[in-house]
A and B are shown apart, each in its own frame.
Chain A
Amino acid sequence: DVKVTQSSRYLVKRTGEKVFLECVQDMDHENMFWYRQDPGLGLRLIYFSYDVKMKEKGDIPEGYSVSREKKERFSLILESASTNQTSMYLCASTLGQGARNEQFFGPGTRLTVL
């Protein structure tokens, strides 16, 4: 079974802190994604990556950056956390490009910025 793990289930940070959210998948998937999920807004794509060292902006990249130094790991970085970044963050991966691939999700990180 594909396993996608996220470094923390719950995280509390202060405004202005630099925050790292880590995601690791163990099935050699090429594509990895970061979403945030907010009530009434569904899942919104922040960034995604097709391969090591490659990244593309999603729908809401402002205030975030990403890093993919190894194929299995995709990190989301909040350079200076703000209260409006309080949210549930979900990481997902999928095998290669192509329209028929299901995405496998991690358990999520609920981030609170005070």
Chain B
Amino acid sequence: SQQGEEDPQALSIQEGENATMNCSYKTSINNLQWYRQNSGRGLVHLILIRSNEREKHSGRLRVTLDTSKKSSSLLITASRAADTASYFCATDAGSNTGKLIFGQGTTLQVKP
């Protein structure tokens, strides 16, 4: 079953602009994670935000979490062509098993 749904499915921006991607989920969670996938490669972990946190920063990344709306957003500031990739949110659906449920992803293209 699909837990995370990303929006938009695709995003195209110019280098230097900010990119915002949204994720909605259905069940309670312990934490929410964001991953990045370059074309044809495996996923790389970007950031984890716990259910009792509202905002978290890591370099040019800013993640927010609104548990009342069951949604999260990933903001990439001052985007670069190298940020071109697909971005996925993943939740644990309230489980402590280590299993994650991934959304379908947002494909970001940053034009130089």
- A residues lining the B interface (CB < 8 Å): 4, 31, 33, 35, 40-43, 45, 48, 50, 58-59, 88, 90, 92, 94, 96-108, 110
A40–B90 CA distance with the chains assembled, in angstroms: 16
The number of A-B residue pairs with CB atoms under 8 Å apart is 67
**Partner among A31, A42, A97, A102 whose Cβ is within 8 Å of the Cβ of B104:** A42
Binds A, one of B39-47, B56-64, B70-78: B39-47
**Partner among A41, A100, A107, A110 whose Cβ is within 8 Å of the Cβ of B48:** A100
Chain B interface main SS type = loop
Given contacts A41-B104, A100-B48, 11 further A-B contacts (CB under 8 A): A42-B104, A42-B105, A43-B88, A43-B102, A50-B97, A58-B99, A59-B1, A100-B30, A102-B48, A103-B43, A108-B40
| Residues of chain B at interface, number, CB under 8 A | 28
Q: Do residues A105 and B42 form an inter-chain contact, with CB atoms below 8 A?
A: yes
**Residues in A whose Cβ lies below 8 Å from that of B92:** 99
Q: Given contacts A99-B92, A101-B98, is CB(A108)–CB(B48) below 8 Å?
A: no
